[in-house]
Amino acid sequence: MKSLIDRQLMRRLGIMLVSISLTLGVANVGLGGVSANAKDNTTSQSIETLKKSEKRWIQIDLTKQKLIAWEGNTPVYAIIISTGKKSTPTRVGTFKIQTKLKSTRMRGRDYDVPNVPYAMFYQGNYGIHGAYWHRRFGTPVSHGCVNVAPNHAKWLFDWASVGTAVFIHK
């Protein structure tokens, strides 16, 4: 499959395709091959299993405000995102896409947003979705969800399926 990684975006993120290192809790960019490690053994085993397969999975780095879509050990798409602000943080952990909706209404105590595009929920009301109401990607501004530009949300929606693993870390 042809890589859809935006090389200019990757440079802005400070990522070299030959060196992405993931540690749940701390993310580092180093030299060497692509690697993903985790502090807890279960997550580490899950990542290693996915890397040895051709399965699709999503990595979300809250500190760097980036999302990387993987196929096995190969990053295929990387984008800048907007996650939860300090008062409404995005949950850290290992999840799976549970529900996909092309369009939905999202309501909370202080918001009511119609026609939210390409929503993929991974835990209750927490999800990855398009955000047409702001352009502050790279800055935590959401109520806990992972906001992406609508065009990127469509790509992810078409690429991921129910059951796709999602690893969220700081």
pLDDT digit string, tens, across residues 74-110: 999 999 999 999 999 999 999 999 999 999 999 999 9
What CATH number is associated with residue 134?
Answer: 2.40.440.10
DSSP code per residue over 63-128? TTTEEEEEETTEEEEEEE-B-B-TTSPPPPEEEE--EEEEEEEEEETTEEEEEEEEEEEEETTEEE
129 belongs to the catalytic site: yes
Give the residue carrying structure tokens 């490690």.
37
Q: Please report whether residue 1 resides in a domain.
A: no
- Residue of 129, 143, 152, 169 with catalytic role: 129
Q: Please report whether residue 126 resides in a domain.
A: yes
145 belongs to the catalytic site: yes
- Residue of 143, 145, 152, 169 with catalytic role: 145
Out of 3-17, 48-62, 154-168, give the one with best mean pLDDT: 154-168
Domain count, the chain: 1
> What domain range includes position 144?
7-169
b vs e for 132-167, b when ≥16 Cβ sit within 10 Å of the residue's Cβ? eeeeebeebbbbbbbbbbeebbebbbeebeeebbbb
Q: Please report whether residue 2 resides in a domain.
A: no
Select from 125, 98, 123 the least CA-distant residue to 113.
125
Query: Which range is least confidently modeled, 41-50, 117-126, 135-144, 159-168?
Result: 41-50
Q: Please report whether residue 49 resides in a domain.
A: yes
CA atoms of 72 and 47, how far apart (whole Å): 9
Q: Please report whether residue 145 resides in a domain.
A: yes
